[in-house]
Structure 1
Amino acid sequence: MPASSHIVLFDGVCNLCNGFVQFVIEHDAAARFRFAALQSAAGQALLREYRLPAPPEPDSVVLVADGQAYTHSAAALGILAGLGGGWAVLARVGRWFPRPLRDAVYRLIARHRYRWFGRQEACWLPTPELKARFL
């Protein structure tokens, strides 16, 4: 794993979140990102380390990069930027919008994600090939 890798914390039972993680893995040719479910011991430890709340039902993806933790739209746009290419351009365009507006849209989707996309009974497990990218 490269020393510059970033960590994505995600809701391990959310179908939308799991789909996003799979999207990132597919488009992360440099294997820059590592992953942990927010519900996992590693995810909980990182939340404590960065003094982020650990709600019973996660409400945001978290990006840990360069010694900082980013949540909500800042995390999502940071992840897209880290993918490079057209995704980085899309992230730059997204940052044109004020953060309160971006976060309001993010929270609306997060609040309804289980109803709109469903949820699993247990966290998604990576394939043996991908296991090294998960904490």
Structure 2
Amino acid sequence: MAGAGKHSAEKLFIVYDGQCNLCLATVARLKELPSRAHLQFVQIQQLEQPGTASVPGIQQASTQQLYEKMHVADSNGMLYAGADGVIRVLRTVKGLGALALLYRMPGMRRIADAIYRIIAGRRYEWFGRTEQSCSVDGCEWKPPRQNNNYPEGGR
């Protein structure tokens, strides 16, 4: 099963912006990748509705902080935000764990954080925004339709 390990006791909650096209595409891709952890995807917009989605430790972050950075929570309520959250998830994804090792190199944390802040700060401008967030289980990413205005074999 994509996105969840078969024998994993570890569960990670990934809190993301359900109106961000980059975030939605990333979640869709993560669901396809094999992970040693059970990944539970929760949109920030779900947390704003009373009586929905419960994420351990999420009350430590303000709504503004949640919108500024993706947050990852483990089942013990430990929160990882921004680049730390990305690395926390990458550590569980088979084949991408080596990228997490690069993060430990001197200076890489600062560089990764800076890159994350730039992309997160411009995510709507660069990747667009959807007006409606998706279902509890996240969105299904659909590839763009092919443009049939071109003759066979060329553009």
Supply the distance in 1 between the matched residues of 2:54 and 2:83 (Cα, whole angstroms): 19
Supply the distance in 1 between the matched residues of 2:85 and 2:101 (Cα, whole angstroms): 13
SS at the partner of 1:82?
A: coil
Residues 88-103 of structure 1 aligned to structure 2 (within 5 Å): 88-96=97-105, 97-103=107-113
How far does residue 38 in structure 1 lie from its aligned partner after superposition? 1.2
Supply the distance in 2 between the matched residues of 1:119 and 1:72 (Cα, whole angstroms): 19
1:28 has 2:34 as partner: yes
Structure 1 or 2: more helix by fraction: 1
Tell me which structure has the larger Cα radius of gyration.
2
**5+ residue gaps in structure 2?**
48-52, 139-155
1:75-106 CA-to-partner distances (Å, cap 9, x unmatched) read 00111111122x00112123324323221110
Q: Percent identity between the aligned chains?
A: 27
Matched residue, 2:151: none
Query: Under a length normalisation based on structure 1, what TM-score does the superposition of the two structures give?
Result: 0.79
How far does residue 34 in structure 1 lie from its aligned partner after superposition? 0.7
How far does residue 44 in structure 1 lie from its aligned partner after superposition? 7.8
1:47 has 2:58 as partner: yes
Alignment size in residue pairs: 124
Change (3 A) 1:17 1:32: same
Change (3 A) 1:45 1:82: closer
**5+ residue gaps in structure 1?**
128-135
CA contact (8 A) 2:71 2:82 kept: yes
CA contact (8 A) 2:37 2:92 kept: no
Pick from 16, 19, 41 the counterpart of residue 10 of structure 1. Answer: 16
How far does residue 4 in structure 1 lie from its aligned partner after superposition? 1.7
1:107 has 2:117 as partner: yes
